[in-house]
Amino acid sequence: MTQFIYGIHPVRELLKKRPAEVSEIIFSRKQTDLEDIILMAQKANLKIKSASKEELDHLTGGKEHQGIIAKAPLPKSFSLKEIIEKSANKSNSVLVFLDQIEDPQNLGAIIRNAECAGADALIIPEHKSAKITPTVHKASAGALEWIAFAVIPNLVRAIEIAKSNGFWVYGTSPNAQTTLWETKFSAKSAIIIGSEAKGIRPLVQKSSDFQISIPIYGNIQSLNASSSSAIILYHYRSQFPNPRL
């Protein structure tokens, strides 16, 4: 289904990855920093038109569009089976399972962190989770174009499938005795990230092989989910520095 994907970084990454799926580029005639995106659209022979800021505001429902919109479908999701099969021949692979991440900005930030850290995919529950929308695409700064994701009906079942395919599962908990710094990740790891408000549900936590905590040295006793995801993923990546092998 065609959507309005908006923002400088999201539209630029969309044009890099899927120019054939873009039906139109709409830009603010007063915006002065869009030359490279307009040039990309011209090279792809896309329909381009200018519009007022008010028209762009209307099309995006008042979102922060930065003067540029692309009419295109959102990236397609994959099945969990496809994601696991794709990782089968890699020497290292990390999946990110999300539990109760209901804020679109948080979800987008986690997607950006995961893509930057070379994660293979995100596994997102169908229920009790933010949906993949243009808002999430914008919050990911376009990273959604470059990382696979699956939307699944049952998170515990998905974790069990990953385990049966050689992944070791790491749940995060502030009460875990083993700290992140002490953790030696498996080459094939699945990391569960829960919301800062609710954490990981007990049944989901029970399905993990290990529980780890991120040490807190200040007075505030928790990090938000996106910050936690970045710290954990980059610690994994420090142990397995080449995601493409």
Do both 115 and 230 map to the same domain? yes
Q: Which of 142, 101, 98 is nearest to 123 (CA)?
A: 98
DSSP symbol at 195: B
pLDDT tens per residue, range 156-213:
999 999 999 999 999 998 888 999 999 999 999 999 999 878 889 999 999 999 999 9
Do both 103 and 217 map to the same domain? yes
Strand pairing class (188-194; 168-172):
parallel
Residues 6+ apart with CB under 8 A from 103: 130, 195
d(CA 84, CA 217): 37
> Does residue 244 lie within any of the structural domains?
no
d(CA 113, CA 104): 14
d(CA 127, CA 245): 34
d(CA 244, CA 56): 39
Q: What is the average pLDDT value for the chain, to the nearest integer? A: 94
User: What is residue 187's predicted lDDT score, i.e. its pLDDT?
Assistant: 97
Do both 129 and 214 map to the same domain? yes
CATH of the domain at 160: 3.40.1280.10
User: What is residue 32's predicted lDDT score, i.e. its pLDDT?
Assistant: 75
> Does residue 245 lie within any of the structural domains?
no
Q: Which of 157-166, 214-223, 234-243 has the lowest mean pLDDT?
A: 214-223
73, 89, 122: which is the final residue of a domain?
Answer: 73
Number of domains in the chain: 2
Do both 63 and 167 map to the same domain? no
Average pLDDT over residues 209-237: 93
> Does residue 24 lie within any of the structural domains?
yes
40, 73, 106: which is the final residue of a domain?
Answer: 73
Task: Reply yes or no on whether the pLDDT at 40 is more than 80.
Answer: yes
Do both 142 and 232 map to the same domain? yes
Do both 68 and 87 map to the same domain? no
Do both 133 and 182 map to the same domain? yes
Do both 118 and 8 map to the same domain? no
199: left (phi over 0), alpha (psi -120 to 50) or beta: left
Do both 60 and 143 map to the same domain? no
73, 102, 122: which is the final residue of a domain?
Answer: 73
pTM to 2 decimal places: 0.94
Helices 35-43, 8-17: inter-axial angle, 10-degree rounding: 20
Write down the H helix ranges in 64-201: 80-87, 104-116, 134-139, 155-164
- Taken in order 32, 33, 34, 35, the sign of the CA dihedral is positive
Q: Is 73 strand, coil or helix?
A: strand
pLDDT > 90 fraction of the chain, expressed in percent and rounded: 86
User: What is residue 245's predicted lDDT score, i.e. its pLDDT?
Assistant: 63
pLDDT tens per residue, range 65-88:
999 999 999 999 999 999 999 998
User: What is residue 116's predicted lDDT score, i.e. its pLDDT?
Assistant: 97
Domain range enclosing 153:
80-239
User: What is residue 222's predicted lDDT score, i.e. its pLDDT?
Assistant: 80
> Does residue 230 lie within any of the structural domains?
yes
Query: Cα Rg for the chain, rounded, in angstroms?
Result: 19
> Does residue 220 lie within any of the structural domains?
yes
Higher pLDDT, 245 or 140: 140
User: What is residue 19's predicted lDDT score, i.e. its pLDDT?
Assistant: 97
Task: Reply yes or no on whether the pLDDT at 124 is more than 70.
Answer: yes
